[in-house]
Structure 1
Amino acid sequence: MNKKQVWIDTDLSVGMKRHKREGYCDVDDGYAILQLMKAHTINICGISAVFGNTLIENAFMLSKKMADEFSSYKIPVYKGAHKGIDLKNVKTNDAVEALAQTLKQKKLIIMAIGPATNLGLLLLKYPELKSQIQEVVLVAGRRKPTDYFKIGNQGNHAQDLNFDLDNDAFRILFEHKVPVVLCPFEISNKVWVKKQDLETLKNGEIKNEWLAEASQPWLQQWLEQGAEGFNPFDVLASHYIVAPEDILSEPLNARLEIHLDDTVKGNNKSTYKQYLLCDTSEGYPITYCYDVVKGYHQKLISSLVIHE
């Protein structure tokens, strides 16, 4: 069987405490990586760490942990960018160089579930390799600036963090005409992981037990915000790669626009930000994922608990 050749670029933060404010970091990267590790149709060619949900040192450490302790085959891991692209001082890193060497040997699907910084650097340094990228699957975007990322029922709006942390990286992807798939909040907020799902996830495998246990504080934070569970954002990207027939998508065009920052409460037209907007007007052609098929939840859980 011809397996899909996949590279993972991630700001993995499972179990980490936030470095800028109180609370715990996202765990959904762990679900995405676990799903790809368990998929018999996928070969993970490498993992590159990037800053984002946590510091680069933490993302690199956790990426090595999952690759070394949980994979049934050898997966090399590389440290990538610790901050967004500085267009006045573009520097490469170990992850960019390793990804470039791999692309010289084979075509890849890239799952980029943190800021797209490493990919932006790759295209600036090695634009000739863009034809080796089959597609990049990212977690970002929305249709309108008023499509808020609502978390719970207490009026809190989340950032489009992967995009917000490095707008230029996304612009570089579009300008190099790399095939882009976006899995935005619009689709992930239709999928929930709840307490009973964490119990199901505990199937006796060390990687499942680790992820289920580390997800408890993250779930509690969502429950305290009035939510019924948490949205596993990044797993929609991995699921698209494993089984695109389970994901509903459409061709749209993407562009960057500046609007009021919706994450600032009581914004009196003083704080603005870039938005990644997707619709049918002019822009860069992308594939926009917006819903899941009927019975998706069971498909997702089954893909995570299956024994390798």
Structure 2
Amino acid sequence: MTKWICISIVFISCIYAQQKIDVWIDTDPAAGIEYRDVDDALALLQAFRSPELNIVGISVVFGNASLKEGYPIAKLLVAKFSDKKIPVYKGAKEGDEVGSETAASENLYAALQKRPLTILALGPVTNIATVVKNHPKIAGQVKEIIAVAGRRPQQRFQTGTKNTKAHRDFNFEKDPQAFRELLKTEIPLVLAPFEISSKVWMKKSDLDYLEKSKDAACTWLVPHARNWLNLWEVVFYVDGFNPFDTLAVAYLTSPKMITSEKLPVAIQTLPDDVTEERMQGTKEKEKPYLLVSKTFKTKRTVRYCYKASEDFKQDLLKRLTTKKEQRDE
């Protein structure tokens, strides 16, 4: 009898270990558009190749590209490179649309009614904020939101050592009000910010590796990634680029590779640290910042990711070049 109990426990443990994370991805892909980010496309392909994830749906939001530009890119990526049919929905066109229903918000709400979901927020969080604002009771169905945003006080998003240009906290600054809506809830919020992604570099040798794999997804991606790398070389005087959104995916697929801490969070209005138009700066003297600090007295906390292990990039490259069914074996 004891033997059978032990076998049952082992069997149940194995089933539990193989359970996939039900995920909804909200994204603003721009790969293929000249001088635009490729990190959303990288992250989507990474997610497609991750057996740990069950992608329930994908919604597109404005951000790196307009909704009109980004939606076809998301559709193309799913059609060409996903191993299953994943529905893709159009979301918000701009940042003042929190509360305005779209196909994205309606279908995310419908999906949450059926089962609890983890949400990967790779762009501005307008679509997600609309759902929790219009349907506050559904917040209990959101297991966690992983957003690519946030910083510590006095932290400046600067790339390389030979330039003074700084980045915006793009996803947050595109719609600060949407983040305010999320912070009003008790939904667990994880930030995968510039601090962690700025320590990871995709270089020419990495793109060569992807190209040599002759994988169809990599063959499509690499030319766009090379153009993006060339832009970083010219603007920032660096020999690589940071794959921002991929760290958010890794928080779910490879949690042991991500170091994080729980910190109080606040939105504060302070002098604008990005004024150059080329860096998408504005002429405003002040702007809101999404900040975390142990010194804050706020009750609302987030999990703040700040370091990836040295194995992360190799894990990313392996996922990008390995079919999902091969990783399942």
TM range (shorter): over 0.9
**Bigger CA drift: 290-299 or 243-252?**
290-299
For 1:223-238, what aligned pairs fall within 5 Å after superposition?
223-224=233-234, 225-238=236-249
1:279 aligns with 2:293: yes
Q: What do the CA deviations read for 1:24-43 (whole angstroms, capped 9, x no partner)?
A: 11100111111110011111
- Residue-by-residue CA offset, 1:33-91 (whole Å, 9 max, x unaligned): 1111001111110100000011001111111111111101110000000011356xx31
Q: How far has the Cα of 1:226 moved from its partner?
A: 0.7
Deviations 1:136-179 (A, max 9, x none): 000101011x2111123211101101000100111111101211
Q: In the alignment, is the contact (CA less than 8 A) between 2:200 and 2:243 conserved in 1? A: yes
**Structure 2: where are the runs of 5+ without partners?**
1-17, 325-329
The structure 1 residue matched to 2:156, chosen from 148, 152, 155, is: 148
Stretches of structure 1 lacking an aligned partner (at least 5 in a row):
18-23
Aligned to 1:209: 219
Asked if the contact 1:35/1:303 (under 8 Å) is kept, the reply is yes
Helix, strand or coil for the counterpart of 1:251?
strand
Contact 2:204 2:239 in 1 (8 A): no
Partner of 1:103: 112
* Residue of structure 2 equivalent to 1:263: 274
Change (3 A) 1:270 1:14: closer
Normalised TM-score (structure 2): 0.87
Q: Deviations over 1:205-238 (max 9, x none)?
A: 2111111111111000111121120000000001
Sort the Cα spacing of 1:3 and 1:262 in 2 relative to 1 into closer, same or farther, 3 A.
same
When structure 1 is superposed on structure 2, of 223-232 and 113-122 the one drifting more is 223-232
Matches within 5 A, 1:1-308: 1-17=18-34, 24-86=35-97, 90-144=99-153, 146-152=154-160, 153-202=162-211, 203-224=213-234, 225-264=236-275, 271-280=285-294, 281-283=296-298, 284-308=300-324
Matches of 1:173 and 1:71, distance apart in 2: 30
Describe the shift of the 1:297–1:104 C-alpha distance in structure 2 as closer, same or farther (beyond 3 A).
same
User: Contact conserved, 1:85 with 1:121, CA < 8 A, in 2?
Assistant: no
Q: Moved runs in structure 1, 4+ residues, more than 3 A?
A: none
Contact 2:46 2:319 in 1 (8 A): yes
**Is contact 2:257–2:311 with CA below 8 Å preserved after alignment?**
no
Deviation at 1:118, TM superposition (A): 0.2
Describe the SS at the equivalent of 2:190: strand
Q: How many residues align?
A: 297
